[in-house]
Amino acid sequence: MSRALKWLVGVVAALVLVVVAALIAVPFLVDTLRVQALIASNASQALGRPVKFRSMSISVLPLPAVALHGLEIAEDPQFGTTPFVQLETGKVRLKLGPLLTGRVELGDIELKKPVITVVQAADGRMNISTLGTGAREPKPGERPPRGGGGGTGAAGALASKISIDHGTVAYIAHAKGGVTSQYRVEDLDLTLTGGGPQIAFKSDFKVKPGDLAVKVADGQVALNGGKPLTDAQLRGVVTIDGKDIGDLAKNALGPTPVFGGALKGKLALSGTLGAPAVSGDIEVTKPSVTQGQPTCPEPKRRTLTLGTLKLNAGYRDQVLASRPLTTSLGEGTITGQLSLSLGPGMRTQISDLGIKAVPLEKVLVDYLCDGYAITGPLDLAGGATFSAQDLWHTLSGPGTLKIGHGKVVGRQALALLSGIVRVGGAVSALLSNDLPNLGDSPLEFESITGTYQIVNGVITTRDLLYTSKPMKVAIAGSFGFATRNMDLDMTISHGRGDLKAKVTGNASSPSIRVNPATILRDVDKGKIDKGLGDLLKKIK
């Protein structure tokens, strides 16, 4: 063995002995009270919140580490008194090199099963918005905070890697009027690495209710020492995967109706830590709505299922926007531009709404079992705004519609038309001027066309036109979706003349008033008097 090799082996052996001796001596080299004060001071200064822990223990192997027990980060008093972060144990590793010289510098930080509470006030402010704003310049004559014996400041002592294992985040949003919505992030695994202005991160977690799996990859946070933590810029790739959106929708919109569908998406992360934003493609497979329908025969519980819902979506400032949105029903297609506020009320706007050849029977007959149901392919162009939590009282917007060849099948609609004709026919038959004979069987029509305007759940039309071979029916007036109250002027035109009627009251039992002058218009006065006299005798 050469002399150089012998020296090398000797140096390596000496270094090993020094490291082993240092590890054995760690509990004696570390001033526990000093380390405890250092950690609490540096963390408090960085976060702008008081940080405390119940006790501290030190381990030697595999690397020197300090375990903090009963750790708490205080809440901003504006948002309550419950701690912002609580965890039973957090482990802080110590850098071995500085430790051998008598200095204490922090290495990696591991937080196991922390509980974090994120609160949003009714005015939109969030409790995380004040994180990182507590650092201040020292007063004149005041010594700046220092780290362990080497004189390292707060920034020098911060960890280069922070990991969260199986954490929980509770999100509580308060709205005006005392309404509160809550979500939980569970099984949160998060790793932050790097230092200085750039921090890399990756994460995966589940959102509940809903069991929505979320993963973040290639994440970056760009810090600016002169600004709050919430102003840090974000970027990354987010993937979402949910087997069923039912529980998510239930938490936001209530227990009924029940929404379903599998959710997948890949989104680009941007914005800031306080106001994150994402954009990309989202798909909901077999989106459905299920509800009990009292007017339906058994089964009462009915489900309407659409084709795959595709959204090129973006989310920012609690607003989800999609340009475009596409889905289908039967052989028909539905497109539009969507804007959905995830704040209280779930305000929704759909613009450039286009419906092509959607079979109305799937909605009006199979799902709603509506008494005024009709069949046929619907083409519609327009827009709508509404609150997702109160659709029928808040729905507003204009539109133009055309229904192709179909049938009137709803019993109430058939009864209404028959009632008008019967009342008019009682007069016209006496005058040998018979109107079309309408029975209880479905009525075929060639088309229904018109324009409309909806304001707060009340639809108004001036030019709705029903066209069939035996007659045309022109309709003008209003109908309330929630109240089902109607106020309609109807004109039935047939081969021998016109019949005008006024229909008012509730759709379940409307009141019909026929204007006999429209039937008697071309009949001489003597015949009118005789015919009405005979009619009055029959009525008595």
pLDDT tens, position by position, 354-387? 999 999 999 999 999 999 999 999 999 999 999 9
Is 5 domain-assigned? Answer: no
Is 143 domain-assigned? Answer: no
pLDDT at 164: 87
Is 146 domain-assigned? Answer: no
Q: DSSP state, 442? A: P
Of 317, 350, 381, the residue at which a domain comes to its end is 317
Share of the chain above pLDDT 70, in %: 76
pLDDT at 418: 78
Is 33 domain-assigned? Answer: yes
Q: Identify the weakest region by mean pLDDT among 152-156, 181-185, 257-261, 341-345.
A: 152-156
Is 287 domain-assigned? Answer: yes
pLDDT at 363: 97
Of 193, 216, 243, the residue at which a domain comes to its end is 193
Torsion of CA 47, 50, 56, 60, to 10 degrees: 10
- What global pTM score does this model have? 0.74
How far apart (Å, rounded) are the C-alpha atoms in residues 449 and 441? 23
How far apart (Å, rounded) are the C-alpha atoms in residues 369 and 276? 44
**Strand-pair partners of 491:** 474, 500
CB atoms near residue 14 (< 10 Å): 10
pLDDT at 538: 40
**For residues 495-532, b (16+ Cβ closer than 10 Å) or e, as one string?**
eebbbbbbbeeebeebebebebebbbeebeeeebeebe
| Pair 167, 279 in one domain | no
| Pair 257, 176 in one domain | no
| Pair 511, 402 in one domain | yes
pLDDT at 540: 38
Of 193, 222, 249, the residue at which a domain comes to its end is 193
Q: Which of 517, 510, 465 is nearest to 492 (CA)?
A: 465
| Pair 283, 361 in one domain | no
State the total domains in the chain.
3
| Pair 394, 473 in one domain | yes
Higher pLDDT, 254 or 370: 370
Q: Which of 379, 293, 374 is nearest to 332 (CA)?
A: 379
The pLDDT tens digits for 71-115 are 888 888 888 888 888 888 878 777 777 766 766 667 788 888 888
**Domain range for 293:** 195-317
Do 459 and 477 touch, CB atoms closer than 8 A? no
| Pair 513, 390 in one domain | yes
With both helix axes pointing from N to C terminus, report the angle between 411-430 and 525-539 in degrees, rounded to the nearest 10. Answer: 120
Q: Identify the weakest region by mean pLDDT among 164-178, 253-267, 481-495.
A: 164-178
CB atoms near residue 315 (< 10 Å): 20
Share of the chain above pLDDT 90, in %: 40
How far apart (Å, rounded) are the C-alpha atoms in residues 55 and 158? 20
Is 304 domain-assigned? Answer: yes
Torsion of CA 234, 240, 244, 245, to 10 degrees: 20
| Pair 442, 532 in one domain | yes
Q: Find where tokens 């009137």 sit.
A: 408
Q: Which of 360, 363, 375, 396 is nearest to 481 (CA)?
A: 396
Is 255 domain-assigned? Answer: yes
Q: Identify the weakest region by mean pLDDT among 86-90, 104-108, 316-320, 435-439.
A: 435-439
| Pair 176, 208 in one domain | no
Q: Could you tell me how many residues make up the chain?
A: 540
| Pair 199, 180 in one domain | no
Is 449 domain-assigned? Answer: yes
Q: What amino acid is encoded at 476 in this protein? A: A
| Pair 179, 218 in one domain | no
Give me the chain's average pLDDT, please.
80
| Pair 173, 200 in one domain | no
| Pair 412, 530 in one domain | yes
